[in-house]
Amino acid sequence: MKVVHIITRLVVGGAQENTLASLAGLRAKPGLELSLITGPAIGPEGSLEARARAVLGGFTLVPELVRPVHPWKDARAYAKLVRLLRAAAPHLVHTHSGKAGFLGRLAARRAGVPLVVHHIHGPSFGPWQGAAANALFTAAERIAGRMTDHFLCSADAMRKLYLAAGIGRPDQYTRLFSGFDLAPFAQAQPSPELRAQLDLRPDDFVVGKVGRLFHLKGHADLIAAAPAILRACPQAKFLLVGDGVLRARLEEQARAAGVAAAFRFTGLVPPAAVPCYLGLMDCLVHLSYREALSRVLPQALAAGRPVVAYGFDGADEVCLENETGFLVRTGDVAAVADRVARLAGDAELRARLGRRGRELVHEWFSVERMVETQYELYLRLAAARGLAC
C-alpha cells in the first residue's frame, strides 16, 4: 500500500515529532510504501528536517506550503500537491496540521486518491480566534471533512469539538494518543552540571514549562502567577524550556513584575534534551489556551513529575485531578499559584502524583501502540474499499 503523509512544516513541535515517530514505526510494517510531503521549516522553533531524512531517506518539499493564509501561495501549493499525488498514485493520503490538512485533502480528492485520513493534532478553529477567523476555519474544516474517510485525533476533546461543528460522523473518529519513547523520560534525573549551568541551587523548587514561546501557550499566565508562588515558596525558580517570537516580551513582563531573577529562559532545546530538563523540574505547568493534548504532559508524567494544567481541550484526559496533578480553570492565575504552592509544600503529594502519572503513561502512550493503531486502520480502510494493495 502506497501512503503519502503531508504536513505543513517540519519544525520542532508535537505534531511533527508524532508524525516522524509514526513514519519510523510504520516503515517496519509489511506492505507499506511511505513518503512525505512538507513545506519549508520556517520559524524560530528549530527544524526536524534532518530527522525526517534519517527516517525516510528524504522528503518532497513544496516551498509554497506555508502556515499563514496566503492566497497566491496556497493556490500554487494546491496545484503542486495535485500534480505530486497524481504522479505518486498512492492508495491513501494521511494529512497533518491545518494548512496541509485542508489543501492536502482537497488535492488528494482532485488527484483521485481512494482513501484520505486526517490527523487532528490540535484544533484549527475555536474561541481563541476572532469571530470571522473562527467562521472561516470552521467552514474550511467542514469542506475538507466531506473529503475525509477517517479522522485520527490526539485527544477525545478534538472529536467532540469537530462533531459539534458538524464535521464527520462519530464512527469516523479514532482517538490516538501521541506515543513516544518512554525510556529517556522514565530515566530522567536531575543533572548537577545542568543545574549549575542554569544557576539553580540544590534546594530550589523548580517549576517548569516546556513549549514554544508563542501566542496562546500561556507563558504570560505563569509569569503573572509567579509573585504569589514566590511568596509561598521563596526558593521557587521558573524554567521555561523553548524559544519563540515572544521571548523578549516575556522577559520584559518578568522584569516588570519583579520576578526576572527567578526565571530561566533556556532558548531553543533539541527534543532529545527535553528529558534532561524535565529531570530538573519538581513540577510542570501547562497553561495553553489552544492545544489538543500536548506531548509534554505525558512526557512529564513519564518522568514522574506532577502537572498543573488548564482543564482545556485534551489536558484533562491525562492530568487527572489529585491523581496525576491538578486541573484549574483556564485563565485562573490565582488557582495556578495555589496548586503550585501546594506541590512545593508537600513532597509526599508530589511523589504520589508522580507514581500514578508513570503508571498511566506506560499504559497509554507507547510508540508501538500508536503505530499499530495506524497500521490496522490503514488495512481496515483498504479492505472496506476493496483495494488490492
For the stretch 290-330, pLDDT in tens is 776 888 999 999 999 999 999 877 899 999 999 999 999 99
* pLDDT given at position 44: 77
Taking only the tens place, the pLDDT of each residue in 330-375 is 999 999 999 999 999 999 999 999 999 999 999 899 999 999 999 9
* pLDDT given at position 46: 83
Taking only the tens place, the pLDDT of each residue in 204-238 is 999 999 998 999 999 999 999 999 999 999 999 99
Which homologous superfamily does the CATH classification assign to the domain defined by 2-179+366-385? Answer: Glycogen Phosphorylase B; (3.40.50.2000)
The full set of domain ranges for the chain reads 2-179+366-385, 183-364
pLDDT band of residue 116 (cuts 50, 70, 90) is: very high
Taking only the tens place, the pLDDT of each residue in 233-283 is 999 999 999 999 999 999 999 999 999 999 999 999 988 999 999 999 999
Mean pLDDT of 17-34: 96
* pLDDT given at position 294: 85
pLDDT band of residue 188 (cuts 50, 70, 90) is: very high
Q: What's the predicted TM-score (pTM) here? A: 0.80
In whole angstroms, what separates CA 243 from the centre of its chain? Answer: 15
C-alpha cell at 356: 500514578
Q: Which CATH class is domain 183-364?
A: alpha beta
Say whether 183-364 and 2-179+366-385 share the same fold: yes
Beta-ladder partners of 264: 239
Taking only the tens place, the pLDDT of each residue in 51-98 is 999 999 999 999 999 999 999 999 999 999 999 999 999 999 999 999
Query: Pseudo-torsion of CA 93, 162, 381, 51, nearest 10°?
Result: 40
C-alpha cell at 256: 516588570
d(CA 311, CA 317): 9
* pLDDT given at position 123: 84
* pLDDT given at position 17: 92
* pLDDT given at position 54: 96
Residues 28 and 377 sit within 8 Å (Cβ to Cβ): no
- Strands (E) located in the chain: 2-9, 33-39, 60-61, 92-96, 115-120, 150-153, 173-175, 205-210, 236-241, 263-265, 283-286, 307-310, 325-328
* pLDDT given at position 150: 99
Q: Which of 350, 181, 180 is nearest to 281 (CA)?
A: 350
Taking only the tens place, the pLDDT of each residue in 159-172 is 999 999 999 999 99
